[in-house]
């Protein structure tokens, strides 16, 4: 993910989704939240998905 998002990206509409994951994944997300710059679980997941998409396109 780029360090500074362009203004157009900042005002994108968010859509609520639901996902079922293993408890170990939830604990990993919570550990990442405690030790990093992320605002919330959604921010962690968005960043991870963006990184995965970027890697898939390489």
d(CA 45, CA 29): 8
- The boundaries of the domain holding residue 57 are 22-58
What pLDDT, on a 0 to 100 scale, did the predictor assign at position 1?
A: 46
Classify residue 36: in a domain, yes or no: yes
Structural domains counted in the chain: 1
What pLDDT, on a 0 to 100 scale, did the predictor assign at position 58?
A: 84
What pLDDT, on a 0 to 100 scale, did the predictor assign at position 28?
A: 96
pLDDT in tens, 2-55: 555 554 556 678 899 999 999 999 999 999 999 889 999 999 999 999 999 999
Non-local (6+) Cβ contacts of 51 within 8 A are: 1
Classify residue 1: in a domain, yes or no: no
What pLDDT, on a 0 to 100 scale, did the predictor assign at position 25?
A: 97
Classify residue 44: in a domain, yes or no: yes
Classify residue 33: in a domain, yes or no: yes
């Amino acid at each position: 993910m780029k360090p500074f998002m362009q203004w157009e990206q900042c005002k994108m509409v968010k859509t609520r989704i639901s996902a079922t994951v293993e408890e170990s994944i939830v604990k990993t997300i919570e550990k990442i939240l405690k030790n990093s710059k992320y605002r919330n679980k959604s921010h962690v997941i968005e960043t991870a998905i963006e990184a995965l998409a970027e890697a898939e396109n390489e």
